[in-house]
Amino acid sequence: PFWLKPFSSPSVQLKRRATRNWRVRPREPAQLKVAPMKLTVASLLLSQPWQVVAQPGGSPTAENKATTTTTPKKVRESRWIAGTWTTGYWDCCKPSCSWAGKGIVTRPARSCDAMTGKTLLDPNVRSVCQGGVSAMCADHTPFVINETLSMGFAAAAVGGFHGLAGDSDCGRCFEVQFTGEVHNNGNWGGSHPELVGKTMVLQVNNIGYDVSGDHSFDIQIPGAGQGAFANGCRAQFNGFDTGDFDCNNRYGGCYEKSGCEKLPKDLRDGCRWRFDWYMWMSAMGRTNNPYVTFRRVRCPQQLTSVSGSVPLDDEEWPAVELDRPASTTSTSSTSSRSSRSSTSSTSTTSTTTTTTTTTTTTTTSTTSTATSTATSSTTATTTLLS
């Protein structure tokens, strides 16, 4: 059928589709007598038996509507990276990925006003650790999805064989599976047997620079140690002492679950997660800086709804299965990885010019708005910026 649009002039103009559609039909079908080979558009329009009437609904018939199809994006193959280990921290400083221009994302990661707790809309507000008011939001703590899966946020280390690359990792999500390796300089640490095979999905909202070797992620866990920046949490939460946020152990944090009760109420569940699900120092000095294997995945809504940040290429990566049993591929692995030093587990966190080493059996690296340093030996340094 042809469609007509009326004009103010006596004549009419032929239009295939118009804002208001008109359809031509015969007044009396029996009156139409036109030779089949001589039937033209002009003869149809000018012959007396025809009248112009409105088509109900004002739209073309179904056969004239354009058909549109959406081609799904091809999901990339995401390879697993093995042989790296992780740490934990919580210093309340503004995350590096909350600054503008970090990562290829819909918007920078959220940060919160240290005074009100509300989300800051300006990504250029100075960090609470540098005298400003922009701080880590209290809801960026780890949380449990099920017995074998948790989610949370982390600082990504850079400069190692693991391929993590700095600012470009902001907003990206990684599936992290805990394995059974232990640190071979004294056979310390690693995953508790009940943690091996479990999985976390981490979204990167902070970045570590000058990191070498096999340190990959610094998981944001309240009570895990403030490291070099011990002024942020006290500025964000009035009425608390600096030592309340990590049981007076800035490099390693609380060793007992009861220490979580000293933290502000909004941070206690995240601190308890460290002991209940993560099994921190529950037996044989484990869990303590566990080894992992990891790969990039699509960010789940449970994380992006908290951070407010989504990578623009997110749909190109595989989604995580939320209901699946823990993997058993690594449960028998107890091999030692990475030679560090002949002493017990060490970790350092300091400014860019100073390295402070502990001699306990825990390691914790920290991230912050200024530059902090965390290492597993006296010869390597990890700088985390935010």
Catalytic (active-site) positions: 91, 218
Provide the 10 A C-beta neighbour count for residue 82. Answer: 17
Terminal Cα-to-Cα distance of the chain (whole angstroms) = 64
Asked whether 133 and 127 are in contact (CB, 8 A), the reply is no
Smallest CA-to-CA distance from 78 within 172, 181, 167 is with 172
Distance between CA 142 and CA 380 in Å, rounded?
A: 28
Asked whether 274 and 280 are in contact (CB, 8 A), the reply is yes
DSSP state of 180: -
Could you tell me how many helices (H) and strands (E) the chain has, helices first?
A: 4, 18
Q: What is the dihedral of CA 172, 175, 178, 184, to 10 degrees?
A: -40
Which position has the token pair 């310390």?
188
For 294, the token pair is 């990891």
Distance between CA 83 and CA 268 in Å, rounded?
A: 31
Distance between CA 372 and CA 366 in Å, rounded?
A: 7
Smallest CA-to-CA distance from 173 within 200, 208, 195, 196 is with 200
Provide the 10 A C-beta neighbour count for residue 60. Answer: 17
Distance between CA 119 and CA 117 in Å, rounded?
A: 7
Provide the 10 A C-beta neighbour count for residue 146. Answer: 12
DSSP reduced 3-state for 323: coil
DSSP state of 280: T
Cβ burial 323-359 (10 Å sphere, 16+ → b, else e)? eeebbeebeebeeebbebeeebbbbbbbeeeebbebe
DSSP reduced 3-state for 232: helix
For 154, the token pair is 């982390």
